[in-house]
Amino acid sequence: MRTLLLLGVWALCLCVFVAADTQPKGQEYDLSPEKDEVLQLTKGNFKRALRKYEQLLVYFSAPLTVEGHRVSEAFEGAAAELQGSEVKLAVIDVKNEKNLAEELNATDHTIRLYISGDKHNPVSCPVPQSAASILTWLKRRVGSASDLITDLSQIEAREELTVVGFFKELNQEYIQVFYAAATDLPDVHFAVTQNIEVISKYGLTYDTIFLLKKSKLTQAYKMLPQTAKEELIVFITVYQMDPVTEYTGKILFIWVNVEEPRNGRLMEYFRVRDFEAPLIRLVNLTDHITYHLPSETLDAETIKTFCQSYLEGTAKPKMQSEEIPEGWEEQPVKELVGMTLEEVAFNPNKTVFVLFYLPYSKASHAVFPLWEELAEALKDREDTVIARIDASANVINMSMLGSYPSLCLFPALYAERVVVYTGKRKLKDLIKFIDEEMEEAKKYRVLEDEDRRKYMKALKAEEAKKVQKIKEEL
């Protein structure tokens, strides 16, 4: 009897689990608790919330912080406005739900929009200043440039700064760039107008972006390049610097704070990492050639010199690769470029020590004599190469280099391994480092050679089987 009772209970539990697992997507779930229309999610109800709501905007909160309290209040205000819509707002307490946050690869104050139950491809949302910011971001994300068209008289009286785009056509690709900026900056007022009266009132031309505040034109910038003088200069820095006003109208200056998470896409586009700041990237919008100015100090004089060298045509462009120098293999220190870096550095039969330098950097130049001395000391070693490469003029697709100048050793292995040297910059220390890494690499090389031998043996056996099969079929 007891056995039958236990079996009955087990069957009942199984039926409940099956019913819960096969519940239709559109069916209501109990996702309580809620606070002011904002779901309080945990690992236990997160997946159910994904299934239930077409759009789920989630704030990974640190509730005991000032920022956490402010954003949570913004979420509550936005949730009240979004009642009955397809968007549901939710909060996950990162401190109490560490496992869930780690599973979703989210940290404090991360905000993500999950769409159609897809937890792997959320849309990142900038941290809002208010409930209105959230509503604006949601609206702009699904809208178009036409949503920003407004009567200019409505915004001329605003105290707030407004970014206004005056465009002749709204179906051009660059309009989407303008709209993407508006989406990423929901706390800034944006507007688009095609009103021809703007030209006569402000003396502008088509395809111009201008900043407007209380009927005062702050600055006007061309969106499209039409002459060789219309370039974009980007400062990637965490420091404040005075603008170089004499180049106004020739070069557009844009300041980018590398500590601001919302600038990540811009930094990725220009292949800039935060530790490289401060530096300058100048882009010619006519031919899209990029010029690079890394410097230990970016003062007004340095910037002026760089700008003038560009306008005079003497600045050095940053290309995928410079031209290969003639006779570079005969020099004690091999001068590498983008086209030769991987071929030389990842040679499985050579130990290669490379100096990644910046020509404008005093710290880089200070290493040059030591590098020449190192090359001279190891000139009789046929299995060792001492080289260097201008990191400002060649695209370097390696994220582990650290700040420049960077000293990186590439062991004689088939595996593409890189070891960054962080020790004392003295000859004896460098040689000791090379010798130790070479000895370490020999151990791995024995294993690599054995694996390759087994692979080749198996490959030959497979080929022999194929040949035999063909013979049998004939």
Residue 265 tokens read as: 């896409």
Domain count, the chain: 4
Asked whether residue 155 falls in the same domain as residue 234, the answer is yes
Q: Calculate mean pLDDT across residues 238-247.
A: 53
Q: Exposed, middle or buried, 461 (CB in 10 Å: 0-12/13-18/19+)?
A: exposed
Tell me if 193 is assigned to some domain: yes
162 contacts 119 by C-beta, under 8 angstroms: no
Which of 317, 352, 384 terminates a domain? The answer is 317
pTM for this structure? 0.44
**Whether 173 and 90 share a structural domain:** no
Q: Please state which of the ranges 38-47, 173-182, 272-281 shows the lowest mean pLDDT.
A: 272-281
Say if 283 falls within a structural domain: yes
- Residues 189 and 271 reside in one and the same domain: no
- Residue 114's domain comprises 39-131
Residue 424, pLDDT above cutoff 90? yes
User: Are 44 and 84 in a shared domain?
Assistant: yes
DSSP state of 97: -
**One domain, residues 399 and 374:** yes
Please tell me which residue, 158 or 190, carries the higher pLDDT value.
190
At 319, the pLDDT band (50, 70, 90 cuts) reads low
Question: How far, in Å, are 28, 30, 42, 62, 113 from residue 119 at the CA level?
Answer: 20, 20, 14, 21, 9
Mean pLDDT of 301-313: 81
8 lies in some domain: no
371 and 418 share a domain?
Answer: yes
d(CA 34, CA 194): 45
pLDDT at 360: 67
Tell me the C-alpha distance between 193 and 154, whole Å.
12
117 and 148 co-located in one domain: no
Helix (H, G, I), strand (E, B) or coil at 293: strand
Where do we find the tokens 């960054």? 420
- In whole angstroms, give the CA distance from residue 312 to residue 73: 54
With pLDDT > 70 as the criterion, what percentage of the chain qualifies? 70
Q: What whole-number percentage of the chain has pLDDT above 90?
A: 23
Q: Based on the domain organization, do 289 and 310 belong to the same domain?
A: yes
- The reply to whether 148 and 123 lie within a common domain is no
Residue 29 has pLDDT above 70, yes or no: no
Residue 202 burial by Cβ neighbours in a 10 Å radius (0-12, 13-18, 19+): middle
Q: Is residue 119 part of a domain?
A: yes
DSSP state of 394: B
Can you tell me the distance from the alpha carbon of 133 to that of 74, in angstroms, rounded to the nearest whole number? 8
Question: Is there a domain that residue 467 lies in?
Answer: no
Residue 190 lies in a domain: yes
User: Residue 270 is part of a domain; what is its CATH number?
Assistant: 3.40.30.10
Whether 445 is covered by a domain: the verdict is no
* pLDDT over 80 (residue 293): no
| 334 three-state secondary structure | strand
Please report, for residues 81, 85, 125, the alpha-carbon distance to residue 60 in angstroms, rounded to integers and kept in the order given.
Answer: 21, 22, 12
Is 447 a member of any domain?
A: no
pLDDT at residue 393 tops 80: no
Q: What is the pLDDT of residue 40?
A: 92
Residues 165 and 233 in one domain: yes
* pLDDT at site 2: 42
Residue of 55, 43, 50, 42 lying closest to 25 (CA atoms)? 50
Q: What's the confidence (pLDDT) of residue 12? A: 39
Give the count of beta carbons closer than 10 Å to the beta carbon of residue 104: 19
Q: Do both 154 and 189 map to the same domain?
A: yes
